[in-house]
Chains A and B, each alone.
Chain A
Amino acid sequence: MKRKSLWVLTTTVVLSLVALLIYGCNASPDRTSESPDNRSLVYGLIQSDIPFQYPVLSEGEKPDVNPGEELWVITKPNSVLSPGTQPAQAQQGQQTPQPTDDQSPTTGTLAIQKDQQFIPIPLKHTDVKARISGYIASVAVTQQFHNPYPEKIEAVYVFPLPENAGINEFIMTIGTRKIRGIIREREEATKIYNQAKQQGYVASLMTQERPNIFTQRVANIEPGKQIDIEIRYFHTLTYQDGGYEWVFPMVVGPRYNPAGSTDGVGAVGTSAVGQSGQKTEVAYLKPTQRSGHDISLEVDLNAGVTLEALSSVNHVIRQQNRGPGQVVVQLDASDTIPNKDFVLRYRVAGAVVKTALMVTADPAGTGGYFTLMLVPPAELKNLPRRAVEMVFVVDTSGSMSGEPLSQAKRAATVALGKMLPTDTFQIVQFAGSASQMAESPLNVTPASRKTGEQYLANLNEGGGTEMLQGINKALDFPHDENRTRVVAFMTDGYIGNETQILRALYAKLADSKVFSFGVGSSTNRYLLDNMARIGNGTTAYLPLNTNPEPVMDAYFERISHPALSNIALAFDGMKVTDIYPRQVPDLFVGQPVIITGRYTGTPQAGSVTITGRAGQEKLTTRMPVTAENTQANPGIRTVWARMKIADLSDTALRDNVDVTKDIRATALEYGLMSAYTAFVAVDSQTKTTGDHGTTIAVPVPMPDGVRYDTTVNEGTKPQP
């Protein structure tokens, strides 16, 4: 019995083991999911029976969806024609690009034929199409990259956009195919891009280096091929002294970075790419060199009311009238080198702003978003100003050499002539160091004016841009209790340490007011606008080769009356929340301010009451908000999110707190570019052969009027 049992037991165990092993070898958790050919997979279907309102959602209309469902719709913007995408032909006889460290795109060696006028580069053309409605612009920028070399390349291009641009679309075009880029956390997007690049996929990545400086990377461009990148953004125009201004920057000016900094923006020659030691770097063409990169620009302007004057500050333009208040402006074919800001100015009929309030419904809620242009109370013009202690701060660094410094001197001289006998003035100059005209501010007299004019005339140019020293000199000396200190900064703003400068302003400002004057054709508007904002002043721009008198007249008109400060707003007819900027800027004569916010419910006709202090007086003014001056604009949601990000950034500057998480969350929720998010696009269907090719930094022309020899590091000398 024992033997028999043992036999049965052993046989059972062995057979079970065999069965188990064989079964285990063939088992698959879900064989039904495998495709017949192991490549093409077909997956489950779900019947749609969810009601859907269409056309998508009217303003204030609530979508009809089942509980828990998310109905999400985006308003489709008006189409903007893309330029042709004919593939470029490989240039014959070009040098082969040299391989570089793939992790450091800006360290590539630019392979170009030197000492020749024409320099083939990977960026062929930039096309700009803008549509302006009221005071909001929708802009599409298409950058046409191509590969004129015989080998595969990665193109890296550092370029400017307006500092208040809410960039919410990014599309990569390969031939006839268009791939929408996806917003991601910056590190994540960079990682995706690098992996795609390493594996030979055509990919692109756009990152933000400053609010007005961006880097575009396009990987695996094969010889003769073209890849277009289209960027779209919304932003608000400025309104000053009765006129609107729309600006499109075309080139990043050469920045100075204080010794020891690595987070700046380097300026190098084409033979010194990668040698600036800065996180971001711009390569510049010599004055004798030209690339094939040109620009076309078209603005479709619908003012809503009759246009009274329209002009371009820096460019030759052509215009076609399309009806009352409607005009199309184009860059003239004779002026297509992208080396200066395009600045379009125009006035509209009537003394007051007609379209102060603009609204858009939130597709995901019951309320919406609005922008509002706050117009200064008319009473401000009747109030006299206090005596001022004027401090002119003149940038005499290398980038201001020549015409920019001459223009700054002319402007300061004009201003001296407009000062009152009750005022005092001081002149500070800064470059590698700072110095001042007199021990203490001088009373305004005919003699002291001459002293000032002589001091200005004798200012020499050259050296670095230690702006911090200029700020210290202008703000550190004891305040005159009987006068308002007004600091007038005259600079191109070509520095890479903006954060340090803006923080210093917050720390040292006290009761002073700072007005910034951007001198030149391509100034650092992010720095200049923020200096003025922090300093409770305003910004003005002094183009080259123009009479500075009108600009200085407007400036003196502004400081000749007290500003409305400590502003509080009360809305009647609208329940509003989340207003940005949270601290409404001071209102000066002739200088409205745009704010944005959210509303709940449906906006009704009503009014906005503005209360504030002007000198010793308390002023209150009411702005009617009616259906007549209410416009709908789909870009307002983006403008609101962008202004929220700017406000968060300002909080970080002022209070030295970390707002990274808040900015990132806002940018991701609204699909916006920011310092902590980036756009990435990968074409998984275009895998090129070989390794990822050579990295080529796109060199750019020097800004008009700026000297190459005083600003650009060619690798053999320290940065000026």
Chain B
Amino acid sequence: MKSITLMGILALGLLLCVSAVLALQPQTPPATNPVTDPFTAVDIWVDSGRQALGAYQFELTLERGKGEIVGLEGGEHPAFAQPPYYDPAALSGQRIIVAAYQVTAPLPTGKTRVARVHLQLHGDIKPQYVVKLIASCGAAGETIPATAGAQETLQGDR
């Protein structure tokens, strides 16, 4: 009987400890970043290394979260400052495909922001943005190797 009482006291003590530990824990972070503002923008960059970038085409995918394109802006280099074009047919299939080209110098080299995609997000989870570079060309139209990526635009960055 004594042992049973002892076990009960021990169990109660452990539970109290657990409760105390839990109370000291910080609030549970969300699975991913929460959406604080449904309107946001994503900067798309292309890195063509030492070669001049004359044209690009990419597909932007929103993973985990949901959202839709509400505007399309050009990049930082004068060659790609004009808003690029999107593929309306792809958009009607819920795909965001963007392209632009520039034939006159100077063209950018290295890593440059080529476009800014304005989005309206849906739901509570901020999506991950994945950029798939479909094509990249040099000044003479030749295919050149390049990488691309996305970075969420800081609010108010114009």
User: Hey, which bits of chain A sit against chain B, CB under 8 A?
Assistant: 3, 6-7, 10-11, 14-15, 17-18, 21-22, 25-26, 28-30, 33-35, 38-56, 65, 69-74, 76, 171-172, 175, 177-183, 192, 195-196, 199, 201, 203, 364, 665, 668-671, 680-687
Contacts and interface: CB of A to CB of B under 8 A. Distances in A.
Nearest to A48: B133
B128 to A, nearest CB: 6
B3 A25 contact: no
Contacts of B157: 685
A14 B14 contact: yes
Q: Which of A6, A55, A687 has the largest number of chain B CB atoms within 10 A? A: A55
Nearest to B139: A54
Contacts of B123: none
Contact of A684 (B41, B57, B142): B41
A665 to B, nearest CB: 7
Contacts of A171: 83
Nearest to B41: A684
B99 A668 contact: no
A52 B149 contact: no
Nearest to A52: B135
Given A73-B99, A668-B89, 16 more contacts: A11-B10, A22-B18, A29-B31, A40-B151, A43-B150, A46-B132, A46-B133, A52-B57, A52-B143, A72-B97, A74-B99, A171-B83, A180-B71, A180-B83, A683-B71, A684-B71
A177 to B, nearest CB: 6
Contacts of A681: 70-71, 118
A205 to B, nearest CB: 11
B136 A48 contact: yes
23 contacts: A11-B7, A29-B31, A29-B32, A33-B32, A42-B149, A45-B148, A47-B133, A48-B133, A51-B143, A52-B136, A54-B137, A54-B140, A54-B141, A55-B141, A69-B134, A70-B95, A180-B83, A196-B39, A199-B37, A364-B89, A669-B92, A671-B89, A685-B153
Contacts of A51: 143
Contacts of B141: 52-55
A684 B157 CA distance: 10
Contact of B131 (A41, A46, A55, A201): A46
A49 B146 CA distance: 8
Contact of A668 (B15, B32, B81, B88): B88
Contacts of B11: 10-11, 14
A192 B120 contact: yes
A60 B140 CA distance: 20
A178 B83 contact: yes
A41 B65 CA distance: 14
A3 B2 CA distance: 10
B100 to A, nearest CB: 8
A172 B74 CA distance: 12
Contacts of A192: 68, 70, 120
Nearest to A364: B89
Contacts of A33: 32, 128
B151 A669 contact: no
B57 A71 contact: yes
Interface string B21-57: 1100100110111000111110000000000001101
Contact of A44 (B15, B130, B142): B130
Contacts of B91: 182-183, 668
B145 interface: yes
Contacts of B151: 40-43
Contact of B7 (A6, A55, A69, A201): A6
Contacts of A14: 11, 14-15
A42 B59 CA distance: 16
A192 B39 CA distance: 10
A228 to B, nearest CB: 13
Task: Give the most central of A11, A54, A175: most B CB within 10 Å.
Answer: A54
Nearest to A44: B130
A11 to B, nearest CB: 7
A38 B83 CA distance: 28
A76 to B, nearest CB: 7
B107 interface: no
B149 A671 contact: no
B158 A40 contact: no
B85 A74 contact: yes
B97 A684 contact: no
A38 B3 CA distance: 52
B70 A182 contact: yes
Contacts of B85: 74, 76, 180
Contact of B55 (A52, A180, A685): A52
A674 to B, nearest CB: 12
Contacts of A39: 152, 154
